[in-house]
Structure 1
Amino acid sequence: MWGFGSRGDWDDEEMQELMKPDYEGLQAENWPFRSVAEPDDDYLPPGDACQSVSAVLGSVNGVAGAFSFESISDSPPTLPGLAVKGVGSVPVPLTKTHAERLLPHCTKAKGTEKVWELPGDQVEMKNPRWQSGINWLGVTIGDRLGFKYEVLEVVLSKLVVYEAGSRLDKQQDTDENDHVMAKLVVQLPSMHAGGDLVVYEGTSGKEFRYDFGKKDGTAAFAPHCAVYVADAQYAVEEVMSGYCLMAVYSLVLSPDEPTLGAKRADDLLQKKLCVAMADVATENKAIAFLLSDKYNSRSMENFGAAALTGLDRVHFQALTDANALLPPEKQLRLYIVQLEHNTELTRDLSDNPRGRGGYFGRPYSPPSPPTWRNTGNYFSADWYSTSGALLRRFDHKDWSTTFHLLNFGLGGSLRELWSNNFSIEDDIDEMTYQYDAFAIVGWPLAHDVENTTRCIGEDVALASILEEKLIDVAKLMAFMKIATGDDGYDEESVWDDKPSYLEFCQKLCEAVVAAGDVALVGLFFMKFVDLLTEKEELAPSIATLVQAFGWSRTSTFILSTINGLDQESGLGLALALASAFEDDDARTAVTMLAVEKAKAMRPDVLTALADFGLLWEPAVACRDPKAYSEVEQLLKGIDASLLSPVVETLSKHVTATSSPEIRAAFASLVSTRRRWLEAQLALLDKPFTWEMPDAVFPADAQVEAFLRGPHADFIVRNFVSLGAARSFVAEHSSAKQTNASFTLSANGRGSNSVVTVSKTLALSEQHSKEVASYKAELGRLANCVSSGKHGTDSIDRKAEVKRVKTE
């Protein structure tokens, strides 16, 4: 058997089916939320508090329960089979004869003469269909009242007889049982005039009027029902004639169900939600629920929670309303977050997609389904305030266990919970499983700083602290410890994708000043300022600290920070602070420290610093005369060749109003620099010649003599080979050319090999640039002196005369 036909056993449709990825299996295999629950396990938010919030929110549908209404279609049977203990059967409508038998067993309603009441336990409805009809009526009424998940028991509380001339003024039922949620008034078939029931809705002023079939003539032939919530006010208008017979039922919540003082379904749900949210706050849990509708970042940034629609808006509003009823220590802080997770899969190209063998006697290996490798898991979260402010974009922390997802008490699995927010991008050899949803996140307001720091970012947490009218010192201290890891929380504090650390430190300094606790100052310097690169730019903020707390209470931290830097950085920070400080003691201390830093540096390094020239002004203004005298001595000891940037900087600070001593010192520096410039020009500003009198070529005295002479080219001989000549060229071409400019080239053969040294114009061109620069500087110095702008003209001339006489 050769097996030629084996490959033909697989047609294209079978092959396509075989190669089709097992999407559901791959999703389970690469499930990103395994640390929370397996994809198909029954899922419940962990903890009773989270489950309670989840269940209550699931009961909220945004449809308010009715206040009062008439129930017609679900009325009980026409004949109740009314019987009263001690009286027997009482036919309806009630006649005068039967009323005279019934009323002696009743008591007058409080404050009335012709309204009679009989307790419910003295009354029996013998028609078996009556009670079943009443029970069913209780279900439908409970649903309309908003009790969709609670069972209301219908209990007959009393029978009421209204004689002609009777009425009830506006009043409210006073049930001893706080589980009574509503009243069902059933007017039994009656023949009378007047006696309408009027129910008043206090908040809106709306009235509900029930005539119980009198207008359409059905009052005597069928029972009529009206419902109102238990705390409603109502009245019965005067009965003009006949008898009106009413059975009043109480709709009672199960004794096992806490009422929390609520009388309406909406209030009960809200109070249950308050209790559950308070428990979440007490347990320091973070909750979240995925939004069911689709949104985008633009709508969130423009409108925040106002962009929510449908049930998303209902659930968010329920949380907000309940939150407002809680004390601050039990409230939750709500945020909007766009959650995203991408799982990237790549097909293993070593698969056997078409099968192998099947020819020349080789056994046929059937095709195998593709295998996929997980090549990346990426979390991302964009955080918004509920008003729409973007707090953080592309935060890449793993958020899967940060908060507990609510499922609204519906049960099911996490896979089902994410099903509406899950998609697959399939590109033959690559696939991406994407989970993308907006969610509402809430955590305890009392732990907002802690959670915000860890989940969103230090800058966002600090901004929330600064929003408060009074800075809470304990909260700020806790934040600073969390942000630096001093609370034991193992989390990297990184600033990628965040505002600059300088801006953060400036705002933190503002918070420390507002808090007014000096204990925060040390923490600020040791844990935050030490990490800052741009310390000089923080000088104005540090100055506010000194102004708020005083130099004596802050000096240790500030001077320690300066001394902890290298000489150059320390000098820069000290000078920046000297410029920013208003306190004399503080300015003197940092100025003297800057002087010490400058004295410890090499002159060439010191004069190259942009900050060095700035040392002059604070030294002049310093209360300690030692500062200026030491800076003056420091300047006098600097070589004239290094004075250019110093003189340039000082020219901006020395004016005609400066003291004679300062102007004399500046004039001396200018004079020293001018003499050096003039000497350099005397050496360099000459007609062109090939002579390079200061050239240095230590390897060959003849070449050095040539470089110093007038000729343009020179031949170096006595090489044993061309290779030796080339080695000479390689060695000396790479060496630094001191006071000279030339090229080297090797040529020839064997012992006739030579190296040609050719002078170039580079040194001359360099000298020409230096000459132009020196002349320009001399011109500036001449203008500086002759203009008298710095008050140095007469002083400079005196210095010149003294120098000439000395010479």
Structure 2
Amino acid sequence: MDQEESFVMTEGLAQINENDNLLVNELNRILETLNKSSNYSVSGEAIEFNFNPNIEIEKFGSLNYPVSESQADQLINYCDQVQCSDNFETLDDQILQNVYQIDQCRIQINNQEWNEKLQILVDRVTRQLGCLSKCQAKLNKMLLFKTGAHISKHRNMEKKEKNFATLILDLPCGYTGGELILYENEKRSEKVIGFEHTVEKINFIAHYADLENEFAQVKSGYRLILVYSIYWTEENADNDFVEKKVENLSEIISGFNSDEYRIGILLDHNYPIGCFTSNGIRALTGIDFNRYHLLNKANELLPEDKKLNFYIAHASYETSAIDISGAYLGYESDDSIESTFDPDFPYEWKIFDIDSQIKEVYDSKGNVYNTRNDLFFNRKSFLRFESFTHLIDPTTGDSKIDLDDLKNWGENVEYDFKGFNGDSGPFLTALYHKYILVILNKSFAFESSLVTNLNYAVNMIYDSIDSQINIDHVSCLLEALENGCIHSECWIKLIKIITKLNDLTSARHLIYCITDPNIEYSFELAKLVQNYGYGSLEDILTEVIQSEAKKQSILFSCNFVQDLLRLGMDEDAYKFFKETVLYFAKMQKDKPLKSKIVKQFATVFGLFVQRDETLKDLHQDFVDLTNKRIDFLREKLLEKPEITWCMPDANFPKHPKVEEFFHGSEREFEYKDIQEKGKAINFIAKYGAYQKGYSCEMDLISSKTGPIIKVVKNREIFRKIEKEFKSYEDELEKLMAI
């Protein structure tokens, strides 16, 4: 069986025997026991703060405790008006009325107990939110709400790497209303949080940072809050609950180190699209983070060759439907019907197309593992629904979830409603989203990456460079690389891997795979050659470089010589110089060379011309070539045309007035000879924009006497000329500096 066939995913779920199913059921049972920690928000009295925090605002002074209405009214003069773009992602038409803010850099809390008590509160609320890691809080801003103030539904945009939750501290002010409304899960259920005692106590609200939320209208008084972001620290705070389960779970997942197991665990939280990009596993919150944390701790107990890989898969299910009820017949246009859309209206939707797929897969660091672009080029998916042997929902205990069935997608849906579709009624697209924690053994994940994207294969091996490199994986990667390509940064990583591996066969194979030498990894390759010895790689190195006799190889060879010299490999540098740079120089000496290549030749020849008398003549040839190129560029720049609005090559045989305009120096012109509007539109479509010999913009102007075509010349046609002569000027400047 060839390599490509071996990676084809099994159509239909793999057949797992009864004993194996017991492993999965036990895994599901342990994960299900964590459900008790699945709070998305917590609130109450901040009993830690039984003292005056002594808050001081720059230029304003200290705040009273509690804050009086008169002082709050004066404070507004030192605040900024909150705008829609101030860390809010607009989901609906958003109105921010009578809301003011003060940036954290202008706020100072002078009570020395504050930070200590704040950390105690943070520890308490993060545990209630189900976070098992150590966290800390960072002040973002102060918000001030006047009577009547409110913020409509939005999602905070402050969430960055390691940001876990938002903490709101409600300062004593004496107000009514202003409840915070949170939209917690995929069913969009609301949770309304308000406080009765707002005069004497500091109250708090903590919620996941990416929850949709809104502030209801303040009915009376002023509301003043401090807004903190809660971040994970690098320290993990394991509790007894985790420790009791890790060892047992480790034994269970050790049985999954086989190609027969591809396990997915449905995530509980409703994550916004794009949150896993760059953040990776760090974007998990609450019960989802607990489950991953437990699995990861168990995975760390496994031997290196049995460790599993974790990914996040973004799955989608899209339905397209047409209304066949006939209710739309009373509408006259798309605009009128689109403005009336209500998902609960009794349309009679007929689904005519379904598209379900895994759109992206993210690794633990947030790198996209495969996208639709990967599939376009490779015609093969790293992961599909049918790839999973088990798809687990810890909430229900079901381990065979079928995501090809719409009933398993819940209510996390986005609607796209359009009006009439030809002779048919309204058109509705419903897009459902789910995220899945994916568990794969390293072998399957690596072999899949050899088909989908070699960059990921390199990164997977590089992740183990400080432990034990799998030489079989390296060999498979190099074989795949013979007919593939990787980014320059992955070339650097791969060269480091082969250097650390200390295997001469792999080093020679690596050099054989170089088809487009790049100076970005030249120095790293020079260190590899130093490690293995130039003599052991000389033949394959010169063969590969000589076979690519083009600009990139010439520049690489010159750069590589200098890298060898920097490493103290003088004799080896001279050998490589004679076998490559000198070889290219003799081929190129009668050709007109650009400054970049001439400069490199001149630099490298200058390093050896005193050592080898035979190089002097060839070195002089390049000096002469440089002078000839300088003369050529100077003459060319004398030919630079004067840029005017005259476009003498424009040709309009049936429209002499238009042609005369383009041949002249005027910039604008109104053409009135076309009397029919349809013909005027066709004229603009045919002759507008950038054409051979001219460039312009054309617009149709309506008038009582007939259509008028307004023609305005632009400089599009001159840009190519200007770019060409700018390149001559830049090259001449570089040559003069050699």
Q: What TM-score comes out, normalization by structure 1 length?
A: 0.41
Q: What TM-score comes out, normalization by structure 2 length?
A: 0.44
- By percentage of residues, which structure has more strand? 2
Bigger-Rg structure (1/2): 1
